[in-house]
Amino acid sequence: METLFDLPGKKFRINEIESMSGETDFWDDRNKAQAILKEQASLKESVENWQQMNDDLDDVEVLQELSKEENDEELRSEAIQKYHEILAAVEKFEFKKVLGDVDDPRNAIVSINSGAGGTEAQDWADMLFRMYLRYAESNGYKTQILDLQDGDEAGIKSATIIVEGEYAYGYLKGESGVHRLVRISPFDSNKRRHTSFASVYVTPEVDDSIEVNINDKDLRVDTFRASGKGGQHINKTDSAIRITHLPTGIVSSCQNERSQHQNRANAMKILKAKLYELEREKQRALLDEKNSAKMEISWGSQIRSYVLHPYRMVKDHRTNFEDSNADAVLDGELEKLIKSYLLFNSTENQV
């Protein structure tokens, strides 16, 4: 296991950073210093995780020996259960090797927009909104709702949330694109089958270690009253902010905070992240393919289909991976779909 995790290398780097942080000029470049300390924290977490798995493995060996000596089926079952838990932890650690992009460890900003189709599409956007909130909750991520525009009759027109946690962007980046739903409409009295579309756009949250130059003269800032049903997510005052970046046409908005100042700060955070991702995609020469905001939210452009009638199936059209438990997926169980895409994308990049 030490070879798998490169334990000596991680410990050496932790000690190296420890020495560097003691130098008198370490904080001369504050952004660089913060990035180095963040790397150290991540390495320490990896070492602690390895130590925990190693301790758990020792416990399994003890349980196994005791179960043999005492011929105890309960102890044997406990040993088997703990062993499978360790295997799952090792698999999760190994999988992180796929997440090697510089932005993968960052928080994720997830934007959801309903496509054409009125109430049907807006209800579908709301289902996706709930799906990602449930995914975040079940994986220990924190979420913050920055913007939420209710639909005219049901559902939502759009939503923006920050998913906070280790590798949130790395796991969720493959969700960018058009998502298609096929079902018997709950809004159709004739119980006909409908197809709805919504787009998802995921960007990494940009911290102070990354410089994104934004000129004030390139911005149009509009204030408006927050829309929607109110409640804990929406503050219905004239404090909502919409910022348009004129050179690119990128729009960001926030209406969830109580003050105009807070909403403006969050809207700028979203704009900064979108501009950063735009530049990254240009550098990768894949802007037209990967920027789901540029895709037509309709037939032929979807990355994934969720079919609830006449059968139940979720299919990713990029990898052809299928999950027959559509209800579980819509309840936030996205691990299989996410991992299949990331592994597929990793293999494609190596070819």
Is 231 inside any structural domain? yes
Q: State the helix-helix crossing angle for 30-70 and 7-21, rounded to 10 degrees.
A: 140
pLDDT of residue 14: 93
Q: Are residues 31 and 137 in the same domain?
A: no
pLDDT digits 0-9 by tens, 150-190: 998 999 999 999 999 989 999 999 999 999 999 999 988 88
- Flag whether 308 is in a domain: yes
Mark which of 98, 127, 161 sits at the end of a domain. Answer: 98
Helices and strands of the chain, counted as H and E runs? 10, 11
- Asked whether residue 103 is domain-assigned, the answer is no
DSSP sequence for 8-30: HHHHHHHHHHHHHHTSTTGGGSH
pLDDT tens for residues 122-145?
999 999 999 999 999 999 999 999
Looking at the structure, tell me whether residues 182 and 118 fall in a common domain.
yes
Cross-strand bridge partners of residue 255: none
Q: Does residue 326 carry a pLDDT above 60?
A: yes
Q: What is the CATH number of the domain that holds 89?
A: 1.20.58.410
Distance, in Å, from the CA atom of 207 to the CA atom of 314, rounded to the nearest integer, reads 35
Last residue of a domain, one of 80, 98, 116: 98
Q: Are residues 174 and 48 in the same domain?
A: no
Would the pLDDT of 235 be above 60? no
Q: How many domains does the chain have?
A: 2
Query: Are both 48 and 165 inside the same structural domain?
Result: no
User: Model confidence over 182-221: pLDDT tens digits?
Assistant: 999 998 888 889 999 999 999 999 876 667 889 999 999 9
Domain co-membership, 143 together with 215: yes
Clarify whether residues 187 and 47 are in a common domain: no
Distance separating alpha carbons of residues 265 and 259, to the nearest angstrom? 10
**Percent of the chain residues past pLDDT 90, beyond the cut:** 52
Q: What is the mean pLDDT of residues 274-292?
A: 67
Residue 257: what pLDDT?
A: 79
Tell me which amino acid residue 308 is.
Answer: L
pLDDT digits (tens, 9 = 90+) for 36-63: 888 888 788 878 888 888 899 899 999 9
Residue 116: predicted pLDDT: 83
204 and 119 inside one domain: yes
Q: Is the pLDDT of residue 30 over 50?
A: yes
Query: Residues with Cβ < 8 Å from 154, sequence gap 6 or more?
Result: 119, 122, 123, 126, 187
26 close to 20: Cβ distance less than 8 angstroms = yes
Query: 191 and 334: one domain?
Result: yes
Q: Are 155 and 128 in contact (CB under 8 A)?
A: no
Domain co-membership, 173 together with 72: no
Q: Is residue 42 part of a domain?
A: yes
pLDDT at 297 over 70: no
Chosen domain end from 68, 98, 128 = 98
Q: What is the pLDDT of residue 232?
A: 46
Tell me what pLDDT residue 313 has. Answer: 98
Which pLDDT band holds residue 287 (cuts at 50, 70, 90)? very low
For the whole model, what pTM was predicted? Answer: 0.70
Q: Which residue in 256, 289, 288, 284 sits closest to 270, CA to CA? A: 256
Res 290: pLDDT:
47
* Co-location of 295 and 210 in the same domain: yes
pLDDT of residue 109: 96
Are 1 and 54 within 8 A, CB to CB? yes
Q: Which of 133-142, 270-279, 289-298 has the lowest mean pLDDT?
A: 289-298
Structural domain that includes position 113:
108-350
Q: Are residues 195 and 340 in the same domain?
A: yes
Same structural domain, 64 and 84: yes
Average pLDDT of the chain to the nearest whole number: 86
Q: Tell me, yes or no, whether 290 lies in a domain.
A: yes
CA distances from 121 to 16, 118, 176, 275 (A): 53, 6, 17, 27
